[in-house]
A and B are shown apart, each in its own frame.
Chain A
Amino acid sequence: MNTSVQPQPPKWADQLLEWFCAPQLLEEIQGDLYERYYKQVQEKGKPAADKAYIYCVLSFIRPFTLKRNPPPYPSPNFTDMFRNYLTIAFRNMKRNKVFSFIHVAGLSVGLACCMLIFLYTKDEVSFDRFHEKKNHIFRIGVNNRNNEGEVHKIGSTNMIVGPSFKEEIPEIETYVRMSSGMYIVKANNAFFNQEIVWVDPDFFSVFSFPLVEGNPANVLSHINSVVITEEMAYNYFGTTKVLGKTIELEMRDQFELFTISGVAKNTPQNSSIQFSLVFPYQYLAQKFPDPEWLGFYINTFIVLHPQADYRKVIPKLDQVYLSKASDEIKRAQQQGYKGSIHFMLQPLLEIHLDTEYGDIRNGLQNDSDPIYSYILSGIAIFILLMACINFINLTTAHSLKRSKEIGIRKVVGGNRQQLIYQFLSESFWYSFIAFVLAILLVNLAMPLFNELANKRLSFTYLFDFSLVAAYIGLFLLTSLIAGFYPAFVLSGFKPVQTLYKRYSFNGKNFLTRTLVVVQFSLAAFLIMITIVVYSQFDFLTNKDLGYNDERLVRVHLGRGDHRELIDLFKNELAKEASIERVATKDGGQNFTLGKVNDKEIYFAFSRIDENFLPTLQIPLVKGRNFSKDFPGDGENSIMVNESFVKEAGWKDPIGKTVFNVNGNEKNMTVIGVVKDYHFLSLKEKIQPQLFRTGSGELWIKVKPDQIPYALQTIEKIYRKLVPFRPYEYAFMDEVNRKNYEAEEKWKQIITAAAILSIFVSCIGLFGLTMLSTERRTKEIGIRKVFGASSGQIATLLSTQFLKMVLLSFILAIPAAWYISHSWLENFAYQIDVSWWIFTLAGILVLLIALFTVSFQAIKASLIDPAKSLRNE
């Protein structure tokens, strides 16, 4: 029979068999299959034979046929050896409890830090990614060049921008304007002070915020509709079934009715847009129409066509602006406007980590500086690195004790590769335990970390696929880094030398020392920074502000001038024994431009009454305070601060005039000069400040020892006089402290980092001293026999390590000096980085190191020499 005419079995089945079948079995099996196939072709025909052939090939997929690499040595096989490595590792671990503790504690702290940072970073980059149209949504921003030629990048726009651009530029599908503010809300017969958001009707179709009730397309189409989050619905009505219920909103002392047309899920924590009550922007646009282009106070988002390139849209924005706003620009230029405006588009996904157009207002929140991510990751990697250094140092140093084991393994035939496997598997084992502990630590530290990082992360976030992958990667990397060096050094030991005990580390000490110095430099660096941050914080919170903020309660009365209400208040409060003084000042900080002898001055502008300066104990330098005895004060008298006088270049300020104060187009006469006080945070210099008469918020000085009673009294009077407004008050010293919340956070973060790093490096040092004293037990014994005192021996053992610590301290100084200087430059008022900070840090590091080292040194020096020498 000719082979070419012989029928062939299905080729793929044959290839499958060849692929999975072990080579030594292939020939006989394939032979049998072919033989049967030819028989069956003749008996039953080709199709049936093919089918049988395929079935038969498939039935051969069983363990014995599958391709396996035959082991080069019949025994012991790899799994047995691996089990042996683990056993040895486990025994070692049990025998050297201190080292195991150091390895595991250090690694788990380092791993836990890294895990938390992964979580943090993951959260940071996931911001706003849940919006389906995320790649086509942009915020309009403005590069505003002012008269002086300075460019300010502003993330805000105004009412007219959105509709005008949409009308003229075909790439723009739709726009959403967004504005927010504090309003008084009446719901279910109760009053709340509530931040609300105004948006255009497309809001819920542009952004993917799911609605529980209501249709995203038309939920805000009615001008008196409102969308409420589940959380707020529950707060106001005790249920989320609130469709059709009404909410009242205070607008200019009247309450307007809005009907709930939708219920939204609570905004996710990783969203830049945060809302609880959403009202139609149309309402604002109708009530307060504003056709001006040259003012920036709301957010405008646009959605571009998916095919549109936003870079090509940007120039069109300026074209539209120049043609539509030409009249307005001309008018402004006639009044002396020399600036210019360029419009920009900022992708939605960049808002969260943007530091340029950082306008986080009008419903946007949670912006963050990527520098936080960098610094936090840096610290976490520091700590993990220190733990790895400990592992390397201790394993290498400790290996002298294990040199016999290595020698014997080699003599009985273990090759270098196997030893490398052994030590790597040991480091995997330690890392694994540390990893499990780290997960527990992360769980424990989560609330604290959330507090520090200003997040709402939860443990369940850990079970995210990419994070789990990253953690496993981290685990593998850690165990490799920690185990790599020891594995290669130890596996290189020569059996003859180790077995005859002639082996000692001569070259190795250099590496150990370098690593210890690196470790302690990092720790010393962090401690120095911590001290700098602490002293600056102390300086900020304790500096004399130029006024007395103790027992000063600020009571909010809403917007506008409440002259009559305040007079009523003052009368009521005057009757109370627990109240020392009452003053009034407008809320917030307003800045404005004024003219002094044709020179423009930019200054802070406040409306106060005659009680304000005495209540805050701010002295007057020249002239007089406002007074009821001068009825003209309300019309054309002002006071200025010293900085204003300096800026204006006046020699004798009393009687000088300032023109156009906050738009009243009048000359105002200076009647007094107020001593400079810090009305802004200490991050800024004292600005020129100008005072007119007026009112706004109540500033109440409470008598000492009567604070709780006074607060009750104020609340009682408030409820009587303004029944419809929620009562809000704040202590001024607390308000001032809030200015430094970011610094407070940094203080805590740096402290935690410093403590952790000093902990990790000290346990490492502890282990090293322990080893070196153990190794020198006999030497110590002999020295004692020859009459050395315990003190001498302790010194002998400690000096080497203390020298290293001293060196690392010196190395850390320049870096710490540089970093603290650049940090302190953010503050207008700052401490000097003086020598004592470094000295203190140095003494601290030395003391901690000394304590760590001396524990072992003293223990070793007290051992009876008879015992340590007995075994020779």
Chain B
Amino acid sequence: MKRTYLGEFEEVVLLIVAVLNNQAYGLAITEELEKQTGRSVSLSAVHAALQRLEEKGFVNSRMGGATQERGGRRKRFFTVSVAGNRALQEIQEVRMHLWGMIPKTS
């Protein structure tokens, strides 16, 4: 089967989902992402990325309980799926491999 491609932004979002460990939902991911990478990210872009990741099967989601500070709306929590985990690891390995192949020139 064709390997499912993981975009750079998606990869970062997926990593943040892993970092937040069971506390990952739209706004939290956005804020964490801004904090960690220093880039300004729109909420809708993160939602779109999460949507795509779920379609590709890299994340699972469940609905949380209703909370007061969200006007009574529930949160959708995301967790990294097995496939997501493997995808992250593969990317990691490829990068390490490539880093190792850079000749020492200095």
Q: Point out residues on A near B: beta carbons under 8 Å.
A: 1, 3, 25, 27-36, 38, 56, 59-60, 62, 64-65
A29/B68 in contact, CB under 8 A:
no
A1, A32, A38, A64: the one within 8 Å of B48 (CB) = A64
* In-complex Cβ contact of A28 among B30, B44, B73 (8 A): B73
What separation, in Å, do the CA atoms of A33 and B70 have in the docked complex? 8
Q: What residues of chain A lie closer than 8 Å to B42, measured between beta carbons?
A: 56, 59
> Residue of B at shortest CB range from A27?
B73
Cross-chain contact of A64 among B51, B73, B75 (Cβ < 8 A):
B51
Scan B51-91; emit 1 where CB is below 8 A from any A CB, else 0. 11000000000010000111101111000000000000000
Contacting residue for A59 out of B43, B69, B71, CB 8 A: B43
B69 with A38: CB separation less than 8 A = yes
Closest Cβ–Cβ distance, residue B58 to chain A (whole Å) = 16
- Please tell me if the beta carbons of B44 and A31 are within 8 angstroms of each other in the complex: no
Contact (A32, B43) CB under 8 Å given A64-B48, A64-B51 = yes
Contact B68 A32 (CB under 8 A): no
Given contacts A59-B42, A62-B44, A62-B48, contact A36 B68 (CB under 8 A): no
The 9 A-B residue pairs with the shortest CB-CB distance, nearest first, are A31-B73, A31-B70, A28-B76, A32-B26, A32-B27, A34-B71, A60-B44, A59-B44, A35-B70
The contact of A35 among B44, B45, B48, B69, by CB within 8 Å, is B69
Closest to B29 in A: A32
Point out which of A35, A56, A59, A62 has the most chain B C-beta atoms below 10 A from its C-beta.
Answer: A35
Given A3-B71, A35-B69; 18 other pairs, CB 8 A cutoff: A25-B51, A27-B73, A27-B76, A28-B76, A29-B26, A32-B25, A33-B43, A34-B71, A36-B43, A56-B42, A56-B44, A59-B45, A60-B43, A62-B44, A62-B48, A64-B51, A64-B52, A65-B44
Contact B27 A36 (CB under 8 A): yes
5 pairs of residues in contact across A and B, judged by CB atoms under 8 Å: A29-B47, A31-B70, A31-B74, A64-B48, A65-B48
Q: Contact between B43 and A28 (Cβ–Cβ < 8 Å)?
A: no
Nearest chain B CB to A443's CB is how many angstroms away? 49
Contact check, A31 vs B75: say whether CB atoms are below 8 A apart.
yes
A35 contact set on B, CB distance < 8 A? 27, 69-70
Chain A, residue nearest B73 (CB): A31
Q: Please report the C-alpha to C-alpha distance between residue A479 and residue B15 in the assembled complex, in whole angstroms.
A: 55
> How far is it, in angstroms, between the C-alpha of A38 and the C-alpha of B43 when the chains are bound?
15
A36 to B30, CA, bound (A): 11
List A contacts of B63 (CB < 8 A). Answer: 28
Asked if A60 and B47 sit within 8 Å, CB to CB, the answer is yes
CA distance A34 to B71 in the complex (A): 7
* A28 with B25: CB separation less than 8 A: yes
Give A827 to B25 CA distance when docked, in angstroms.
91
Asked if A1 and B74 make an inter-chain contact with CB atoms under 8 angstroms apart, the answer reads no
Residues in A neighbouring B69, C-beta threshold 8 A: 34-35, 38
B43 touches A30 (CB 8 A): no
- B26 — which chain A residues lie within 8 A by C-beta? 28-29, 31-32
Asked if A65 and B73 make an inter-chain contact with CB atoms under 8 angstroms apart, the answer reads: no
CB distance from A74 to the nearest CB of B (A): 13
CB-based nearest B residue for A30: B73
A59: B residues at CB distance < 8 A: 42-45
A65 and B74 contacting across the interface, CB-CB below 8 Å: no
| CB-defined contacts of B30 to chain A, threshold 8 Å | 32
What are the residues of chain B within 8 A of A36 when measuring CB–CB? 27, 43
Residues of B within 8 A of A32 (CB): 25-27, 30, 43, 47, 70
Q: Is the CB of A56 within 8 A of B70?
A: no
Chain B hits for A1, CB < 8 A: 68
Contacts of A60 in B (CB 8 A): 43-44, 47
| Residues from chain A with Cβ under 8 Å of B27 in the complex | 32, 35-36
Chain B residues within an 8 Å CB radius of A34: 69-71, 73
**Shortest Cβ distance from B51 into A: residue:** A64
With the chains together, A673 CA to B27 CA distance in Å?
115
Shortest C-beta distance, A34 to chain B (Å), equals: 4
Bound form: Cα–Cα A30–B42 in Å: 14
Q: Nearest chain A CB to B37's CB is how many angstroms away? A: 18
In the assembled complex, which residues on chain B have CB atoms less than 8 Å from the CB atom of A3? 68, 71
Which has the most chain A C-beta neighbours within 10 Å: B44, B45, B47, B48? B44
Per the bound structure, the CA–CA distance linking A473 and B76 in Å amounts to 48
**A27–B47 CB distance below 8 A:** no
Cα–Cα distance between A33 and B42 once the two chains are bound (Å): 11
| Chain A residues with CB below 8 A from B68, complex form | 1, 3
Complex Cα distance A3/B27, Å?
A: 21
In the assembled complex, how far is the CB of residue A571 from the closest CB belonging to chain B, in whole angstroms? 104
B48-A28 in contact (CB<8A): no
Beta-carbon contact of A65 and B70 below 8 Å: no
Find chain A residues with CB under 8 A from B71 CB: 3, 30-31, 34
CA distance A56 to B25 in the complex (A): 17
* A467, B42: Cα distance in complex, Å: 48
Cβ–Cβ contact B48 & A27, under 8 A: no
The residues of A that contact B51 with a CB separation of less than 8 Å are 25, 64
In whole Å, how far is A15's beta carbon from the nearest beta carbon of chain B? 14
- Which single member of B43, B48, B52, B74 contacts A56 (CB below 8 Å)? B43
- CB within 8 Å of A: which of B15-43? 25-27, 30, 42-43
**Nearest-Cβ distance from residue A46 to partner chain B, whole angstroms:** 15
Query: In the complex, which residue of chain B has the Cβ closest to the Cβ of A33?
Result: B43
Q: Collect the chain A residues with CB atoms within 8 Å of residue B76's CB.
A: 27-28
In the bound complex, how far is the Cα of B78 from the Cα of A735, in angstroms?
A: 95
Inter-chain CA distance A713–B47, complex, in Å, is: 98
Measured in the bound complex, the distance between the Cα atoms of B74 and A32 in whole Å is: 9
A residues near B43, Cβ cutoff 8 Å: 29, 32-33, 36, 56, 59-60
Interface centre among B27, B68, B71 (most CB of A within 10 A): B71
The CA-CA distance from A25 to B76 in the complex, in Å, is 10
Residue of B nearest to A38 (CB): B69
- What's the least CB distance linking B80 to chain A, in Å? 18
A238 to B45, CA, bound (A): 70
Set of chain A residues within 8 Å of B52, measured between Cβ atoms: 64
CB nearest neighbor in B for A14: B71
